[in-house]
Copies of this chain bind each other. A is one copy, B any other.
Amino acid sequence: MIVVLQKGAKEEDLTNVLKHLKMHGFATHIVRGTEKTIVGAVGDKSRLVNIPLEAMSGVESVIPILAPYKLASREFKPEDTVINVGGIAIGGKDVVIMAGPCSVESKEQIMETAILVKEAGANILRGGAFKPRSSPYSFQGLKEKGLEYLALAREKTGLPIITEVMESENVGIVADYADILQIGARNMQNFTLLRKAAATGKPILLKRGPSATIEEWILAAEYILVEGNQQVIMCERGIRTFETYTRNTLDLSSIPVIKHLTHLPIIVDPSHGTGKWRCVTPMSKAAVACGADGVIIEVHPRPSEALSDGSQSLTPEKFNKLVNELEAVAQATGKALSTPVTDNSKVGV
C-alpha cells in the first residue's frame, strides 16, 4: 500500500500515518519526492486490512498495490481450474455449450427444447424456474414446478441442468435439482446468497453484475472460494453503458483479463449480453475466438411465443447453425466443442 501525503502535509501528519500503519503491523518506507512525500507500507496482512487513512489529516490518497483477492488469483493457483459436471469438463481444453429457454414455461416446452438442443450439440441444459423481473407485472417463473420439469428433461436427455437461484432461502431446493447453481447478475454482490450457494458444494456460475468492474466480480468469486467451494465458473453477460441499440455491452475483453488474473473458467452469455438474437451467433464465435471456455445460449422452439426474452432467443434452426459455426472457430483456436453426452442416463444429483 502506498500512502500519498498532500503537498505541505505537516511532519506530525506523517508521524501519525506511520503510527497507524505500524499499529496494524506494517513495515514502512518513506520516499520524499520533490513535491510530495509518500509512504510505502509492507505487511503480510496488507490484503486484509482496510484502514481509513484517507480520512487522516495530511493524507491525499491511498493506493493499494496488492489485489484485494487471493484465492481467485492466478498467483495463488497457477494452473487452470477445471470443473466437472456430469462428465462435462468446464475450463478444460474443450468448449462447452449450455442452451435452453430463458424460462421454463411448461413441461412440454422444456422437454421439447431439451431434446432439440441436445440433438444440436448442447452439453448442458439451461432454464429459469425462479425469474428475476424488473417489473412486478411480468411472468415470474414456475418456481419449484419449473425445477421438477427441468429434472424430467435431464432424465430424458442426460443433459446436466443449470438454473438460477435468486435468494438464500431457496438455495436448498434449487440445489436439490440443479447440477450447476447460477447466480444472476443482479445478485453478484448478494453476499449471503453467495455464501449459502457456496456451502452446497455445487458448481456455481457467477454472472458479472451489469455495473461490476472485473475486480469486484473476482471479489464476489472470492466470497465463494473462501467458503471452501472451488467450483466457480465466471460468466460475462454484458455491462451497462450508454449504448442503447444492444441491451448491454458485452465486454469480451474480460475473457483474456479473467484468464490472466485468475485460474477460473469463464463462459459468455451473448443472449443477455446483446439482447438481440441477430448478435448471438457472431458474439458466440467471438467469445470462443478470444478464449472463452463456453457459451450459454437462449433457445426457444417459438421465440415469438416466449414468456420472457423472446427477442434474444434463437430458434432451434439458428441454434443448430450456431453450433456448427462454433465448431469451426473452436478448432481454429486449437480447441474442440465438448463431446455431447451420448446416453440418457441420469447425471448429477
Q: Give chain A's interface residues, CB within 8 Å of chain B.
A: 2, 4, 7, 20, 29, 31-36, 38, 40, 42-44, 46-48, 50-57, 63, 65-66, 68-69, 75, 132-139, 166-169, 186-187, 189-193, 209-211, 213-216, 219-220, 222-223, 226, 239-246, 249-253, 255-257, 260, 273-274, 276-279, 282-283, 285-291, 303-311, 313, 325, 328-329, 331-333
- Can you list 17 A-B pairs with a CB-CB distance of less than 8 A? A2-B63, A29-B29, A33-B40, A33-B65, A40-B40, A54-B311, A136-B222, A167-B167, A167-B190, A211-B211, A213-B242, A239-B242, A241-B251, A253-B273, A256-B278, A260-B278, A329-B333
Partner of A31, one of B42, B54, B57, B66: B42
Number of copies: 4
Q: Which residues of B contact A305 (CB under 8 A)?
A: 52
Contacts A50-B308, A133-B191; A256 near B244 (Cβ below 8 A): no
CA distance A246 to B7 in the complex (A): 20
Partner of A36, one of B52, B66, B187, B303: B66
Kindly list 15 other residue pairs between chains A and B, CB separation below 8 angstroms, not including A167-B193, A213-B245, A214-B243.
Answer: A33-B46, A34-B43, A40-B40, A52-B306, A52-B313, A53-B304, A55-B313, A68-B137, A134-B219, A187-B190, A210-B211, A215-B245, A239-B241, A249-B253, A253-B282
